[in-house]
């Protein structure tokens, strides 16, 4: 039996889970790795805080150097944020320690430099928990699908926003209330705007695309929209037309080493799409490769236990994996504005809207000016009425055309891409009101 010293940076939601998992499943890890992982020091910000786990007080420090001096071979970074985390990870790698982190922002922004440092020092830098919480998605791409050319990734990559959208729909709760709940449950980032504005999903998509396409991904190349604009009216109307609204992360490579398109934003999925029923804090990733065709991995995307699971799996692998060799990352062109051409769900909120007959005649009117309307629905919510249209072959100029044709005072107009509807699956006659 080999004793391995571990330094834990952070004892919040994830750090607490990691400490408990290392303690409670020590026997499992020992049996499977022959190694006994012992936490020697825990770095925190506030040494006086009451901790959610017993017996840690004598391990706590606020001095990072004490961690490095405690005979550790593995450092686990679960403090989050960028600058301090970066400095600690860099110093731990420089000192010859293996590093495991759950920090997607750090890996998306500084991963390239830190991986080069890890290679130079002959140590591992592992970050399975940075993407998809407990889902072993990076390992699946890196180790289990290594003979495939993965060309498309479609994912629900943020647990907080998926939880919010689900609770808004299923319980009719308000956005702010559900956001508070997701913070209490430990799903949200320290600054939850990273979740709700889509940045967290963007970091995760960049990490996935880099690994799957072996391509350098710049965060600026990922158009990103969050869920602040999604209302419960939009969710209700989309559902009536047969769709779920999800914060979707998409990446596609057109041919080997070919151009790449990337996008994060709310989108409609038809109810029979594999990701449409992924609810609550669950995440899911569909990977499409040349031989495997498609594989969908689903699991809890945030929270103490699933995230700790991914961190501790990395810890168990750190001394068993082959050393990272040279990287073959390419710089393919990135396609921008791959937003047009597909179907769009357009929501118009107003005070006065046509009923069923009016909606049908509106469709005729729009079709006369060559706006192909696939589905149309209206719904009333208190003093507001909402019109929802699924339009084919979306073009940015449609917004103004629509406003002119509607000829009514519009309180709000929002539009979402509609994903994954094949021609033969399209709903033919869909005019709903309520
Ligand atoms: N929560 C989740 O579901 C998931 C989180 N992650 C990632 O894991 C990381 C941690 O998240 P989470 O556990 O939720 O965060 P928390 O805010 O719950 O915990 C952060 C911990 O780090 C400590 N800390 C923060 N800054 C410093 C610093 N400068 N020096 C020393 N200690 C510091 C805090 O100390 P103190 O307790 O004294 O305040 C706290 O213990 C983040 O990168 C996050 O993105 C990844 C997947 C899922
Ligand atoms: N805040 C993140 C935590 C996990 O990465 C999320 O909600 O997905």
Nearest ligand to the C-alpha atom of residue 200: 2
Task: Specify the pLDDT at position 356.
Answer: 54
Ligand 2 pocket, residue 286 CB under 6 Å: no
Ligand 2 pocket, residue 300 CB under 6 Å: no
Residue pair 156/257 in contact by the 8 Å Cβ criterion: no
Identify the band that residue 370 occupies on the pLDDT scale cut at 50, 70 and 90: confident
Please report the atom of ligand 2 found closest to the CA of residue 187.
7
Mutate which of 14, 75, 81, 159 to test ligand 1's pocket (most atoms within 8 Å of Cβ)?
14
How far does the centroid of ligand 1 lie from the alpha carbon of residue 13, in Å?
7
Quick one: which H or E segment has residue 45? none
Please give the positions annotated as active site. 204
Predicted complex ipTM: 0.99
Task: Specify the pLDDT at position 354.
Answer: 60
The pTM (predicted TM-score) of the whole model is 0.95
Ligand 2 pocket, residue 203 CB under 6 Å: no
Q: Which residues line ligand 1 (CB under 6 A)?
A: 10-15, 43-46, 49, 78-80, 84, 102-104, 129, 133, 186-187, 189-190, 302-303, 307
Bigger pLDDT: 193 or 420?
193
Task: Specify the pLDDT at position 424.
Answer: 47
Render pLDDT for 407-432 as a digit per residue (tens, 0 to 9): 778 889 999 999 976 554 454 444 55
Render pLDDT for 271-318 as a digit per residue (tens, 0 to 9): 999 999 999 999 999 999 999 999 999 999 999 999 999 999 999 999
Give the integer Cα–Cα distance in Å for 258 and 248: 22
Residue pair 394/340 in contact by the 8 Å Cβ criterion: yes
Residue 282, strand partner residues: 300
DSSP string, 58-102: GGEES-HHHHHTT--SEEEE-S-SSHHHHHHHHHHHHTT-EEEE-
Mutate which of 161, 164, 195, 197 to test ligand 2's pocket (most atoms within 8 Å of Cβ)?
195
Give the integer Cα–Cα distance in Å for 46 and 67: 16
| DSSP 8-state assignment for residue 144 | I
Give the integer Cα–Cα distance in Å for 126 and 315: 8
Mutate which of 157, 158, 284 to test ligand 2's pocket (most atoms within 8 Å of Cβ)?
158
């Amino acid at each position: 039996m080999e004793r391995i010293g571990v330094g834990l940076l952070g004892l919040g939601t994830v750090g607490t889970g990691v400490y408990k998992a290392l303690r409670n499943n020590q026997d499992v890890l020992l049996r499977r790795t022959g190694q006994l992982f012992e936490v020697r020091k825990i770095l925190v910000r506030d040494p006086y805080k009451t901790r959610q786990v017993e017996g840690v007080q004598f391990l706590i420090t606020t001095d990072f150097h004490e961690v490095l001096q405690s005979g550790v071979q593995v450092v686990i970074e679960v403090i989050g944020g960028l600058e301090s985390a970066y400095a600690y990870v860099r110093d731990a790698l420089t000192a010859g320690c293996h590093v495991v982190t759950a920090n997607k922002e750090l890996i998306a922004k500084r991963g390239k430099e830190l991986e080069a440092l890890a290679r130079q020092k002959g140590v591992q830098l592992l970050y399975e928990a940075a993407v998809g919480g407990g889902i072993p998605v990076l390992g699946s791409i890196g180790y289990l699908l290594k003979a495939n050319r993965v060309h498309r990734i479609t994912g629900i990559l943020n647990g907080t926003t998926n939880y919010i959208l689900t609770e808004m729909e299923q319980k009719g709760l308000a956005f702010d209330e559900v956001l508070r709940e997701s913070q209490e449950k430990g799903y949200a980032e320290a600054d939850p705007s990273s979740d709700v504005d889509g940045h967290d999903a963007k970091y995760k998509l960049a990490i996935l695309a880099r690994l799957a396409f072996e391509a350098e991904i710049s965060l600026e190349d990922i158009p990103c929209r969050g869920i602040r604009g999604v209302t419960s009216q939009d969710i209700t109307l989309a559902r009536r037309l047969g769709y779920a609204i999800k914060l979707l992360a998409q990446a596609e490579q057109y041919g080997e080493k070919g151009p790449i398109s990337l996008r994060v934003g709310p989108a409609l999925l038809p109810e029979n799409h594999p990701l449409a029923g992924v609810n609550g804090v669950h995440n899911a990733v569909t990977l499409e490769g040349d031989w495997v065709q498609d594989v969908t991995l689903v699991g809890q995307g945030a929270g103490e236990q699933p995230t700790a699971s991914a961190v501790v799996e990395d810890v168990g692998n750190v001394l068993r994996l082959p050393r990272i060799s040279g990287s073959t990352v390419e710089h393919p062109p990135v396609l921008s504005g791959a937003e047009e051409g597909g179907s769009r769900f357009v929501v118009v909120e107003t005070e006065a809207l046509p009923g069923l007959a009016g909606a049908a005649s509106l469709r005729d009117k729009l079709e006369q000016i060559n706006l192909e309307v696939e589905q149309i629905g209206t719904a009333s919510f208190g003093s507001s009425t909402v019109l929802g249209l699924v339009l084919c072959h979306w073009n940015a100029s449609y917004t103004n055309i629509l406003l002119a044709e509607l000829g009514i005072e519009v309180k709000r107009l929002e539009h979402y891409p509609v994903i994954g509807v094949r021609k033969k699956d399209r709903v033919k006659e869909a005019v709903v009101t309520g």
